[in-house]
Each structure stands twice: as C-alpha cells, then as structure tokens.
A and B are shown apart, each in its own frame.
Chain A
C-alpha cells in the first residue's frame, strides 16, 4: 500500500511541477472549448444548449491526449522495470498510476470546467449536475484508458492505437455523463439513474483497467 501511495505522490508532484502535464491538460481543455465555440459561431442560445455535451466531449479528449504517456515515461527511464519486478501485485501499481493520472489530468480539468462552462454559456442550473457528473465519471476514463496505454506501450505510433482502443471503452461513460449533466439541468427523474450508472462504470473501470492493464504490461515487459 505504501508503495502505491509513493507512486501516486511521485506522479502527481511531477505533473504539477513546471514542465509537468497537469497544466497542459487544462490548456488543451480550454483550447478544445474554444475550437467548439468558434465552430458553432455566435449563436449563444445554441451554444448554451450544447455546453454540457461539449464539456464532456472535451474532458474525454483531454484525458485521451495524455493517456499515451501514462506508462511511457516510466518505461523509457526504466522505472517500470523496477515496478514490475518488485510489486507484489502489479494490478495495484496500475491502479495507483491511473489514480495519479486522474489527479493530475482529470481533476484539474474538472476544476477548470466551471470557468470554461462560463465561456460556453452553460445555464446556471446546469453547473452542479455537470460538475457532479464529471467528478463521478472522469475517473473511469483514467482507469479504462490504462488498458490501451498498457497495450500500446513502447510502440512507435502509440497515441493513435490508444485512441482507437479507448474510444469504445469510453463511450458508456460519455453517454451517461452527458445524460446526467443534461437531466440534472432540467431536474428530470433521469438524473439519478444516470449518475448511479456512471458511478457503476467508474467502479467497474477501477477493476477492469488495472487487471487488463497489468496483464498487458507484464507481456510487454517480458516478451
């Protein structure tokens, strides 16, 4: 357990130091919002209707662009070898890496979401459900993304393979995340089931991601 906490602590502090990835994720997130806003044009009513889906989509994209680096740095400097050889349960180490990824790439995006939502003209009653859905749902992206990142480890064109593999796995989180954010904004009875399913997806991802990811890393490190 202490080893896992050390991995999380190291990854998070690396991400938040200068040159780390945390700021990059937030900048990417804001930039993607800008792209959508400019593409849709000056129709504020249309934009405000689309704000919640756009925010979810760009949160997903910013998780995706940082995922191919999830194990890559440790792979390149050799510390992944040490982790594989010394960890009692590699699954727990993968879980720790995923949690660190969410703390350094997911959580900053969730915290930046209200400010970006302001630019997209999200209606006032939409903020609380949107933030709740992002908070519950984005960890699933880090967990499930670990599978693709582990499979593509060490490949030259890793990032595109990570995107292809993660896309289908991310779809349920996106569907119910947007569903919850929208339903909550109009106070619909569909809000609670969507949030519950989103929570189930995250829990399920926390099991599937580390198990499948650890299996893939073992293969990639020994073969």
Chain B
C-alpha cells in the first residue's frame, strides 16, 4: 500500500470505530441507564432485586399514612403504569408531599414493601411565584408535575 492509501484506510478505520461507539451509546441510551428504577421497571422484573436499590417516581396522592406514634410513614410511589409501596422511618425533606417527585433508596422487605433508608425529594424544572402558579392552575392551563407551556 502506498502512504496515501494507508492514510485513507486509517481515516476509514477511525470513522468506523467512531460510528460504532456512537451507535453503541445511542442503543444504550435508548434503553436508559438510570440513577434510579421506576415502578414500571420493577414491575417488569421477575422478582424484586435483592440488594439496595433506588426507586424514583411520584408520591401517589392520598397514599401517605403515618403510624400512630408518627415513627413510620407509609406511602406509594407510582408512575403512569405501576406503583410500589414504601415504608420509611426518618426525617422527610421539605419538598416531600403528595404528587411530588421522590427518589427512595432502600431494600425490599419480605412483605414486598421497599424499606427506605433514605428519601430524597426531586424537584422539577418549573420556577414561578405562587400567584403565577395559582393563576395558571385557575385558568386550567397547567397542572403540577407538568411542564409550563405545554
């Protein structure tokens, strides 16, 4: 091979490898590598995972129940398809409330409930003053958990 042919072959090889790397990345991202599982990810599994996992979703409205001595709180985390029950003993973050996003870390107990070691609140990308939020809700143009402007 002449030097010019070698150079062409080399550039071809570089592009092939780069394309392969990009292809692998896109395939992988399509399958979503997550900081946390969603309830529907968990529902798709044959058995609940044995180790510590993170679960992310919205707190189901009306599902928050405190035990009589307020030592434990039970709630349900859900997405559009499935839901997972959670139990937690500890201090909840300020943003934790019904309909809000949470990320829960813990392991499944024998009763199929996720025993949380930590509950983190996930907030969305909407920022606005209280009056604007209420005005938007009143006009029916926006609901909590939705993107503004959709």
- Are A and B direct contacts in the complex by CB distance below 8 Å? yes
Task: Name A residues whose Cβ lies closer than 8 Å to a Cβ of B.
Answer: 49, 88-89, 91-92, 176, 179, 182, 186-190, 192-194, 196-197, 199-201, 203-204, 206-207
Q: Give the A-B pair count, Cβ closer than 8 A.
A: 65
Give chain B residues whose Cβ lies under 8 Å from the Cβ of A197. 24-25, 28-29, 33
Q: Is the CB of B17 within 8 A of A189?
A: no
Q: Is the CB of B44 within 8 A of A189?
A: yes
Which residue of A179, A194, A197 has the most chain B CB atoms within 10 A of its CB atom? A197
Closest 5 CB pairs of A and B: A196-B28, A200-B24, A203-B21, A193-B28, A193-B31
Known: A186-B51, A196-B31. 17 other contacts (CB 8 A): A49-B51, A88-B6, A91-B10, A92-B10, A187-B45, A188-B49, A189-B31, A190-B33, A193-B27, A193-B31, A193-B33, A196-B25, A197-B25, A197-B28, A200-B21, A200-B28, A207-B18
Given contacts A88-B6, A89-B10, A197-B24, contact A186 B49 (CB under 8 A): yes
Which B residue sits closest to A190, measured CB to CB?
B33
Q: What is the CA–CA distance of A88 and B46 in the complex, to the nearest angstrom?
A: 55
Q: Is the CB of A194 within 8 A of B33?
A: yes
Give chain A residues whose Cβ lies under 8 Å from the Cβ of B32. 193
Q: Is the CB of B6 within 8 A of A193?
A: no
Given contacts A192-B31, A197-B33, contact A203 B24 (CB under 8 A): yes
Q: What is the CA–CA distance of A210 and B44 in the complex, to the nearest angstrom?
A: 42
Q: What is the CA–CA distance of A117 and B41 in the complex, to the nearest angstrom?
A: 29
Q: Is the CB of B17 within 8 A of A89?
A: no
